[in-house]
Amino acid sequence: MTYHNDLIIRAAKGELVERTPVWLMRQAGRILKEYRDVRSKLSGFKELVETPELAAEVTIQPVDLLGVDAAIIFSDILVVPEAMGLTYEMIEQKGPHFPKTIQTEKDLDALTIPDAYESLAYTLDAIKITKKELAGRVPIIGFAGAPWTIFSYMVEGGGSKTFSKAKKMFYTNPTLSHTLLSKITQTTIAYLRAQIVSGVEIVQVFDSWAGILSEEQYKEFALPYIKQICDAINNVPVTIFAKGAYFVRKEIAALNCRTIGLDWNMDPIESRKIIGTDKTLQGNLDPCVLYSDFKTIERKTKAMLDQYKEGPHIANLGHGVYPDITPDAVRCFVETVKAY
């Protein structure tokens, strides 16, 4: 497909671009009144994720309203365990909750490696609708959670400051842990491949809880499974965003991914020295900068961009945009990148 704006694809491939492309994690969401208007008519978050026409509508909103260089399909990383047979609830103001968790071999045996085209058809249909509606204006980014992050929710049962139950399983039952991680990985590969067939041009793997693990644990229980995903996806650029995993930047650089996301605590110049100039870096403005006045946002954004001159770059925040940040602040960030 020919795009009116393919900056992000070219930057992800390490090609020369006229300017730095920009998008934001969680750009489709609560910061936009138009999103809240759609959401208010529904029973909740999951209904929106599972209704393709509406998921497509909110996917496109930030392209129209914020001027970003890519759409990221509106979905959730937890659709993967749901498809495997472990249902989650999204509780307002609290986040995800799994009524049942994985604790034993019997629990694990009850999980399936689903057919993504059946069990995750709602996301694939949303991608197809979005692709048609965008008509080549910008590319679509697909995504999934990294196996360790999905594992953490399936064992812990929800969000946690420590994920001690999930980490405990690594010590008490490493065999069960690896079997579950393998099942998650197989499901994730099939899901990402189906997203690509449906129309996404880049895929991002979110390892949101990477920084909770030690370097030793990450290398044993996380990195090998991300490697399997990178090795399996070779027809579109892959981005790995491992939040807090500053200790494995060199190892992530050795993977078959094209782009490495940096969180706001990772120094871009130091990261470039560790990672090299072959990979594209993505990030990494502190989301809290967007609470500032426009002059400060502009100054901080330019200072961030100054640090990425030694290689290909996609501008983003160092994590998802917070729900109480104003759309005008986001537009200031986007426009500053475009004018740089």
Q: Are 234 and 171 in contact (CB under 8 A)?
A: no
Structure-block tokens of residue 154: 């399936």
Could you say which of 153, 218, 246, 308 is catalytic?
A: 153
Tell me if residue 76 is catalytic.
yes
Closest CA to 304 of 340, 253, 335: 340
Q: Report the b/e string of 234-260 with b at 16+ CB within 10 A.
A: eebbbbbbbbbbbbbbebbbebebbbb
> Would you call 39 a catalytic residue per the annotation?
yes
Distance, CA of 73 to CA of 234 (rounded, Å): 20
Write phi, then psi, for 221 (nearest 5 degrees). -110, -5
193 in catalytic set: no
Question: Which position among 6, 35, 69, 76 bears the catalytic label?
Answer: 76
Q: Which two tokens stand for residue 135?
A: 């008509």
Instruction: Give the span between the Cα atoms of 203 and 187, in whole angstroms.
Output: 15
The verdict on whether 272 is a catalytic residue reads: no
3, 10, 30, 299: the active-site residue: 30
Candidate list 39, 193, 258, 272, residue with the active-site label: 39
Contact residues for 111 (Cβ-Cβ < 8 A; gap 6+): 84, 85, 86, 102, 180, 183
Structure tokens at 28: 């489709």
Question: Cβ distance 315 to 307 under 8 Å?
Answer: no
- Residues written for the chain: 340
Cis omega before residue 316 (within 30°)? no
What residues does 268 pair with on adjacent strands? none
> Is 153 labeled as catalytic in the residue annotation?
yes
Q: Would you say the C-alpha torsion 205, 210, 215, 218 has a positive or negative sign?
A: negative
Catalytic residues, by residue number, are: 26, 30, 39, 76, 153
